[in-house]
Structure 1
């Protein structure tokens, strides 16, 4: 086989290995970030001394309020019918 082709094939394999290594590193970093964010969320929830049920109710209420705020046009369309 042509030596240039062999060299390129080796470079391709080497590059693929580096990419795989960096993708694994990226996944690990994203996992660490998520874990730190979750820790922060738990700390905030605990600072309010909420029970898990109270927290769930608060989040549910907040989600419903957010959904209502985000769709004022939809509310106008309903009133027009």
Structure 2
């Protein structure tokens, strides 16, 4: 039964990644693209966790935490660049 739930979740998050990719390409503004990229990071984290559940390995959970930290820092840096035009003051 868990196999069917994981397959359904893979499909949902994969479809969400495709929609986010479309939003990154066709967004009207830069802020919409940043938001879509941040949402893509969240979806990739969910896929890593699902793959960790599927494989039964804790390594993927640690990778998802590292990916979350890098995604957060990059989103904050890009938002700061949009607001001020400079990342490092």
- TM bracket (short chain): 0.3 to 0.5
Higher relative contact order (CA 8 A, sep 6+): 2
Q: TM-score, normalised by structure 2?
A: 0.33
